Structure 1
């Protein structure tokens, strides 16, 4: 079987439709369709099911896709290995990280990695979108969630602990909520997902409670949320790393400490596709960041989902 034909099948299924595959391969849609038809005729079986918007693999098509992806990854790894001979580690790593965690926790890790590997290009996006995390142009995503998607490799980067907190001045002037239900009426400072009702899940022992929130300040920018908390504008519900230094200095105090609070999830995960070739630069980056998280006491780097063909 022609390796180029297998590669074409991989590109079509990765793209999701013939038009997008044609764009990536710099071919016409008719040419892509012709070569796909030729491959199906040579095998004598249908490999993909076509709809108006997408193509989906048949059982035989999926098996051939997996073989084609393995061959493609092996070829890419061989090319990279040869190109790196006698050179410093090079490449490009494109990643998407949460705005708060990325700026307040990961920034120093990213800078340390860049100093160690100056010839690797880091392309970093700070964003909090939950859907469509691993778009084709993103190698790695870091996200807070309760359970990672089943179709990705998820590496544990540690638990996320939310705190209910306020400035020392605010607490002295207004008091702090001492019961969960008091969060309903407190002037809250927190983040939210557009189009969703904001709820905080609270765990105590084996019990789980949920409180509907109506914040007075909402933002995806955690540096702004921190400033609003320090300014005494209300009670913040944010991950502990947002106000960690302020707590240490006594400028911020917490309440409801017996409860384990969560808004978007309880774990931080590093996510990447199991069937996408990880360059040497990307795999080096993954292990470096997981090691940094482990040293900081934030994670073990263990694999918790997916199967990898790195």
Structure 2
């Protein structure tokens, strides 16, 4: 058994199947299968259970995988120590952030991070989809989800709060909904999941006394771009259902008014998470970035993170 064989095993189990591992390793699937068979023959035990869709470790395969990840991490740390000797922190972080949250809340943090660590390359993708981090070669993703995927490490970044709102001009000409059911017939401006019926969940009260309602909506304007949704709300096109940070400044100035304030509203989930792969060899750059962002989230007065979403 050698390091190359352990690396192959780690890549197969991280990727989830032989075909995905072959693409990552730039090998043919048959070649990956051959080398895995050779490794299992040298060990004298099956290491991976193959199905048509997944590759899962046996007990001994999991132990070897853990050793392989640890060895890779040590080698990576040693390489970093040599290459960065006498230099500032260097490396690369590929980050996926939601379009609105990334632009309106995180942009300042990312700029501050770059100023503090100029040697680290930040590769930032603005998108709202939840995709396979390995497939997209993303180190960290920031997302709102009802429940984080079990195969990922999820670090909480604070609760999410939606608001029902409209421009002051719209409110002068049209009655705002004061009951949840009135949203069904209102011209709603919001984001939605393509191909799914839009449902807004509403909560009132706390703990055992909490009341939960769900309302099905048919929006008049839908977009994943929250900056565009904000413009549409300010233009008086309808009732906005957006994370409160999107219109926070407009509410403060009186350009936007809110309604249904007794309800806690949610469309995509009630919690923001930082997601990344478990047992993945993280560079010092990635670890530093994770710590930096979580410190910003928990800093006193960091209001946007406590009320944020996409």
Q: Fold conserved (TM > 0.5)?
A: yes
Residue 30 of structure 1, CA deviation? 4.2
1:62 match: 62
| Cα-to-partner distance string for 1:106-138 (whole Å, 9 max, x where unaligned) | 011111111111121111111111243554510
Deviates more, 1:20-29 or 1:3-12: 20-29
TM-score by length of 1: 0.91
Residue 12 of structure 1, CA deviation? 2.2
Map 1:37-116 onto structure 2 (within 5 A): 37-52=37-52, 54-116=54-116
Corresponding residue SS for 2:144:
strand
The yes-or-no answer on 1:3 pairing with 2:7 is no
Alignment check: 8 A CA contact 1:97 1:126 kept: yes
Alignment check: 8 A CA contact 1:134 1:272 kept: no
2:21 match: 21
Distance 1:242 1:29, change over 3 A: same
Residue 19 of structure 1, CA deviation? 4.1
1:163 match: 163
- 2-structure distance, mates of 1:251, 1:60: 63
Corresponding residue SS for 2:40:
helix
5+ residue gaps, structure 2: none
Corresponding residue SS for 1:265:
coil
Alignment check: 8 A CA contact 2:93 2:285 kept: yes
Alignment check: 8 A CA contact 1:229 1:236 kept: yes
The yes-or-no answer on 1:237 pairing with 2:241 is yes
The yes-or-no answer on 1:292 pairing with 2:296 is yes
- 2-structure distance, mates of 1:240, 1:14: 37
Q: CA RMSD in A?
A: 1.8
The yes-or-no answer on 1:259 pairing with 2:260 is no
Aligned length: 300
- 1-structure distance, mates of 2:283, 2:268: 31
Residue 46 of structure 1, CA deviation? 1.2
Deviates more, 1:91-100 or 1:135-144: 135-144
